[in-house]
Chains A and B, each alone.
Chain A
Amino acid sequence: MGDMIVVQDLVKNYGDFCAVNHVSFTVPEGRIFGFLGPNGAGKTTTIKMLTTVLDPTSGSLRVNGYDPTREQKQVRRSFGIVFQDPSLDDELTAYENMDLHGILYGVPHGERVKRIDMLVDFVGLGERKKDLVKTYSGGMKRRLEVARALLHTPRILFLDEPTIGLDPQTRNHIWGYIQQLSKEEGVTVFFTTHYMDEADRVANEVAVIDHGKIVAQGSPSELKERTKCANLEDAFIALTGHAIREEEANAIERMRMMGRAWRGGRR
Chain B
Amino acid sequence: MKAIYILCVRQLKRYMRSPARIIGSLGQPILFLVALGFGLRGMFARAGQGNYINFLSPGIVSMAILFNAVFSGIEIIWDRQFGFLKETLVAPVSRLEIVFGRMLGGAIVAFVQGLIVFAICLLAGFRVVSSPYLPLGIFFMFMIALLFAGIGTVFGSVLQDMQGFPLIINFLIMPLFFFSGAIFAAAGLPSALKLLLRLNPLSYGVDGLRGALINQFAFGLTTDLVVVTVLTALLLAIGSYFFSKIQL
Contact = CB atoms under 8 A, between A and B. Distances in A.
A261 interface: yes
B46 interface: no
A203 interface: no
Contacts of B17: 91, 132
Interface in A207-236: none
A106 B160 contact: no
Given A92-B10, A103-B3, A265 B158 contact: yes
A53 B3 CA distance: 18
A192 to B, nearest CB: 16
Contacts of B86: 53, 83, 85, 87
A96 B6 CA distance: 10
Interface stretch (A30-38, A73-81, A119-127, A177-185): A73-81
Interface stretch (B87-95, B133-141, B200-208): B87-95
Nearest to B15: A91
Interface in A249-267: 260-261, 264-267
A76 B97 CA distance: 15
Contact of B158 (A51, A52, A53, A264): A264
A20 B90 CA distance: 21
B48 to A, nearest CB: 50
Contacts of B164: 261
Interface in B1-58: 2-3, 5-7, 10, 13-14, 17-18
Size category, A interface: 35 or more
A48 B248 contact: yes
Contacts of B18: 91
A55 interface: yes
B10 A100 contact: yes
B10 A104 contact: no
Contacts of A88: 83-84, 87
Contacts of A87: 83-84, 86-87
Which applies to chain A's interface (DSSP): helix, strand, loop or mixed? loop
B90 A51 contact: yes
A170 B32 CA distance: 55
B171 interface: no
Contacts of A105: 91-92
B49 to A, nearest CB: 44
Given A55-B247, A104-B3, A77 B10 contact: no
Contacts of A91: 13-14, 17-18
Interface string B66-93: 0000000000000100111011111111
A99 B7 CA distance: 11
A260 B159 CA distance: 9
A76 B92 contact: yes
Contacts of B6: 99-100, 103-104
Contacts of B91: 76, 101, 104-105
B193 interface: no
Contacts of A53: 86, 89-90, 247-248
Nearest to B86: A87
A54 B10 CA distance: 26
A86 B82 contact: yes
Contact of A96 (B13, B82, B160, B247): B13
Contacts of B88: 104
A144 to B, nearest CB: 12
Nearest to B9: A100
Nearest to A99: B6
Contacts of B160: 260-261, 265
Interface in B191-248: 245-248
A9 interface: no
A89 interface: yes
A111 to B, nearest CB: 14
A52 B84 CA distance: 16
Contact of A54 (B87, B157, B159, B248): B248
27 contacts: A48-B248, A53-B89, A53-B247, A54-B247, A76-B90, A76-B91, A76-B92, A83-B86, A86-B82, A86-B83, A87-B83, A88-B84, A89-B14, A89-B87, A90-B82, A91-B13, A91-B14, A92-B14, A96-B10, A100-B6, A103-B3, A104-B3, A104-B6, A104-B91, A105-B91, A106-B92, A267-B247
Interface of B: 2-3, 5-7, 10, 13-14, 17-18, 79, 82-84, 86-94, 157-161, 164, 245-248
**Which 3 residue pairs are nearest across A and B when measured between Cβ atoms?**
A76-B92, A87-B83, A104-B91
